[in-house]
Amino acid sequence: MWGKQIEAINPIDLTERALRFWEMNDHSVRIVALGSALIGLSCALMGSYVVTRRLSLFGDTLSHAVLPGIALGFMWAESKNNVSLMIGASIAGFLGISCISFLGRFTKISQDSALGIVLSGFYAVGICMLTRIQKMDYGSQAGLDSYLFGQVSALSTNDLIGIILALGAIIFFLSVCYKELLVTGFDPNFARSIRLPVNLIQYLLWMLLAFCVISSLQVIGVILASALLIIPAATASLLAKRMTSYLLIASLFGAAAGVGGAFLSFFGERLPTGPLIVLVSITFFLLVLFFRPKNGMFSGFIKSKGQSRRFAMENTLKAIYQVMESSEFKSSTIQKLELMNRRGISSGYCQKELNQLVRFGFATTSLEAKSQNNLPRELLVSLTPKGWEQACKTVRNHRLWELYLTNEARYAPDHVHEDAEKIEHVLGEDTVRKLERILSNPKKDPHGKLIPSLVDIQKGWLGTSELEKENYIL
């Protein structure tokens, strides 16, 4: 078999081994890759329906519940006959489903408890039977433990045919009943009201789920089968807004995880395939979770980083404006010291903020021409036209909002500053126009300070003489 071949040519160059997998000249490699991919595909398709119906644990229960059936099928045929295993597993799966719905219908036990009971009960029976079989004459070499953890290298052509049949049945059912599945999943009560056989559809779905799980056991094993149902579908749920794209994305990730896992288990020696497929699948999930275009954690992080940087710069610009305002805009430059005092921050921190402003073209800095009283020369800051505009806008937003809160929303004047500190950064031009209209183009804020108008913003700074303004513009 294939597993032995590897040992024979051991030790082997890793790249050569990788090449051997991807060239797929080996018959066994082809079977393994194809089988894993198809299983990933069919599990992802079924899993999409399991996950959107919030029945994730159900798939887990079903995959565990088929174990005694496999053992029974084996005892019956006294060999690893695929047909008898399939029949046994189907019966056990059906029994498991019946137990769950019986518990739900006739007892007060909640569904998750019912699932837990059936899962562990069937699994325990299955393990007992398997252990017993291992000790029988015909059972010692059956390799039934591969059903627990999956062993892709033992995949036979017969197994592959089973996988293809299950996948065919799944695709057929999903495409024929697409809209019925959609409506029974989204709103079962409505589906009943248009006289759809909701329970029948549900049972068919479960039977198919059982086939899907059974056909994939050889590759992935009983314990991890549910992972292949849930993870690709959960990945799709992060990206898709319609069922069609959901199915497509899930099956892509499922198939990719299958091939990836098979490759890794071929590549690394003596690594079990099932767990590797699950790990690849989880890696995909995490990648999507972090890097998906909208609402991804990574893009969200970048966005909030950029936003807090903008807020910080606007706050510095506002402080510069206020310093200039306190000297009635007599000078176009301020000292760094004044800014530090205004903001109540250290010299180093202030320098950082100023560097940021300079880098974005909001301000320029220069050293004093001559030091006063033999002190070190002071750093002077002046705003560029772009910086001036942004400073005016931020101050205007702040004061407009304060005025709006006191005049229209009837807040006390001493309650409005903190709120305005946040709102000033997010007011859009449209909202500003609206506020101005509502407040009939106000000149002063509630604290009696002038609100910079559009004219001020365009002209240059307030209070400076015409000459200076002209110089500035030049």
Decide if residue 186 touches another protein (CB under 8 A). yes
Kindly state the greatest CA–CA separation across the chain: 108
Q: Per-residue x/- marks for another protein, 282-321, CB under 8 A?
A: ----------------------------------------
* Candidate list 15, 135, 137, 242; residue touching another protein; CB under 8 A: 242
Residue 183 or 450: the one with the smaller Cβ distance to another protein is: 183
Tell me if 402 sits within 8 A of 412, measured CB to CB. Answer: no
Helix (H) or strand (E) holding 351: helix 347-359
Of 188-196, 350-358, 361-369, 382-390, which part binds another protein (CB under 8 A)? Answer: 188-196
* Candidate list 104, 116, 121, 385; residue touching another protein; CB under 8 A: 104
Helix ranges, 240-296 (H): 243-267, 273-291
Tell me if 62 sits within 8 A of 96, measured CB to CB. Answer: yes
* Candidate list 10, 15, 189, 440; residue touching another protein; CB under 8 A: 189
Which of 196-232 are b and which e, b meaning 16 or more Cβ less than 10 Å from the residue's Cβ?
Answer: bebeebbeebbbbbbbbbbbbbbbbbbbbbbbbbbbb
Helix 297-326 to helix 347-359 angle (10° resolution) is 110
Q: Which two tokens stand for residue 128?
A: 């007992």
* Candidate list 12, 83, 124, 176; residue touching another protein; CB under 8 A: 176
Residue 102 or 349: the one with the smaller Cβ distance to another protein is: 102
195 CB neighbour count, 10 Å cutoff: 7
Tell me if 351 sits within 8 A of 280, measured CB to CB. Answer: no
* Candidate list 184, 226, 251, 273; residue touching another protein; CB under 8 A: 184
User: Residue 108: what are its φ and ψ, rounded to 5°?
Assistant: -95, 5
Residue 105 or 410: the one with the smaller Cβ distance to another protein is: 105
Least Å from the CB of residue 40 to another protein: 20
DSSP conformation letters of 70-133: HHHHHHHHTS--HHHHHHHHHHHHHHHHHHHHHHHHHS---HHHHHHHHHHHHHHHHHHHHHHH
Residue 114 or 148: the one with the smaller Cβ distance to another protein is: 114
Of 157-165, 191-199, 221-229, 399-407, which part binds another protein (CB under 8 A)? Answer: 191-199
* Sheet with 333-335, side-by-side order of all strands: 333-335, 379-383, 363-367
Of 7-15, 197-205, 266-274, 406-414, which part binds another protein (CB under 8 A)? Answer: 197-205
* Candidate list 187, 328, 408, 470; residue touching another protein; CB under 8 A: 187
* Candidate list 198, 264, 282, 345; residue touching another protein; CB under 8 A: 198
Least Å from the CB of residue 55 to another protein: 8
Least Å from the CB of residue 126 to another protein: 22
User: Residue count at the site for another protein (CB under 8 A)?
Assistant: 39
Decide if residue 246 touches another protein (CB under 8 A). yes
Residues 44-83 that bind another protein (CB under 8 A): 52-55, 58
d(CA 61, CA 100): 9
Least Å from the CB of residue 317 to another protein: 35
Name the site residues for another protein (rule: CB under 8 A).
52-55, 58, 100-101, 104-105, 111, 114, 176, 178-180, 182-190, 192-196, 198-199, 202, 237, 240-243, 245-246
